[in-house]
Amino acid sequence: MALSNLLLDSDYPIDKIVWLHEGTVSLSQGVNTFTIPHGVGAQIYPKGIWTVDDWATTQMFGVMRHGRGGLLDFTSQLSADSLNTEINLRYEIGSATAKIRLWGVCNDTQIPNLEVSNTAPLSNNNLVINTDNNYPKLYLEGFATPGTTVNHGLGAIPQVDIWAFDSYSNQWYLFADDSFGTMFGLGEFVKLTASTIEFTNNSGASPNYYYRIYA
Amino acid sequence: MKPAKFIINTDYATIKNDADGTASVTLPNSLTLPANAPSAVYRATVGIGAKPSAGWRCYVTSDQHGFAVCGTSFSIYCKQDGYDAQILGNIFRENGAFVLEVQIPSNSFAPTTWTDMGQTLTLHLQAIIDPFNS
């Protein structure tokens, strides 16, 4: 069958990565901070992974770990403003060389996400569009404050990325760290349900959230 | 025009969803550890074969709560020797698998008893690949 009129149409934008960085940093025992200019000129929301064993074991930034006897092994945070990305990696299990991979997105009002919509009709006979890799669709993005409930109505708990604003350092942090409190039980700060995301109290440490919901 | 090769070209890197997976682990409701014992480790592992160059998105649900938490670290509220306490859980990648790990620590100087922990935790994982494309 010949495809005479093909319309590519997506109601959803997909992630536009505005910044990429790959490198190596040297960790000494204690707190290590690294400032990496990103040059985007707008607030970016960073994510990233790191390893001290050449990717045999990979941690995402935002994680912390306690080891034997409850002692702290490490905390790893990633933050950014419109100029720089900052790594704060407290490493308590000696010195190490860490490989890092970082990337950043912007909110859609700053740099619009990609949207394939209303493409001009094409004429083609043997067109294959391979979607083996299943691009996650950015369903909804926005800002929220404690007390806000975002209705997504997807009918299932969605994949969500959340960043929180730290008023002390005036930067946006990847929200994944227990210091901001992704918790079970009392004091939870962000609850995901099949219909909502509920942003609750957070002791004033991070009064604003930026979220990206994927479908 | 009949194009021989069709290319959708975006000037921007994006993220692909490489694989999805879930795994669960059940914590005991009560556990006593001798003084200075190794941490009791509970793990749920998802071996979805993905090799994310960028990372992953995930959330964790508990059968004791009607909501989920997102992120790579989370706390479980419980009691240690009768007092309110927290246990930390982590999600990381190890030798090709994704691991949800909860370490219940001992006390250095005396036996310690953890209670009110009982729940089944489920990791819901979406591995992502690109933009580094390894």
Of A14, A185, A192, the CB nearest to B14: A14
The topology under which CATH files domain A14-105 is Immunoglobulin-like (2.60.40)
| pTM summary value | 0.86
pLDDT for residue A188: 58
Across A108-117, B8-17, B94-103, the highest mean pLDDT is recorded for B94-103
- From CA A180, how far away is CA A168, in angstroms rounded? 13
CA distances from A43 to A212, B119, B124 (A): 15, 39, 29
pLDDT for residue A149: 94
Is the Cβ pair B92, A63 closer than 8 Å?
yes
* Interface pTM, i.e. ipTM: 0.86
Is the Cβ pair A103, B76 closer than 8 Å?
no
Is the Cβ pair B132, A186 closer than 8 Å?
no
Number of Cβ pairs closer than 8 Å across A and B?
A: 189
Q: Phi/psi zone of residue A49: left (φ > 0), alpha (ψ -120 to 50 degrees), beta?
A: beta
Q: What's the token pair of residue B94?
A: 């190890």
Is the Cβ pair B68, A103 closer than 8 Å?
no
Q: Give the residue from A12, A184, A186, A195 with the most B CB atoms within 10 Å of its CB, the best one to mutate.
A: A184
Q: How confident is the model at residue B112 (pLDDT cuts 50, 70, 90)?
A: very high
Residue A187 has pLDDT above 50, yes or no: no
Domain borders along chain A are 14-105, 136-214
Q: Which residues have C-beta within 8 Å of that of residue A61, sequence separation ≥ 6? A: A46, A47, A48, A49, A50, A76, A77, A78, A87, A102, A174, A176
Q: State the average pLDDT over residues A155-181.
A: 75
What letters, b where the CB count within 10 A reaches 16 and e where it falls short, cover A184-210? bbeebbbbbbeebbbbeebeeebebbb
Which chain B residue is nearest to residue A8, measuring alpha carbons?
Answer: B8
Residue A169 has pLDDT above 70, yes or no: yes
With beta carbons under 8 A apart, name residues in chain B contacting A49.
Answer: 52, 54-55
pLDDT for residue A4: 52
Of B17, B73, B132, the CB nearest to A182: B73
A182 versus A102: which is more confidently predicted?
A: A102
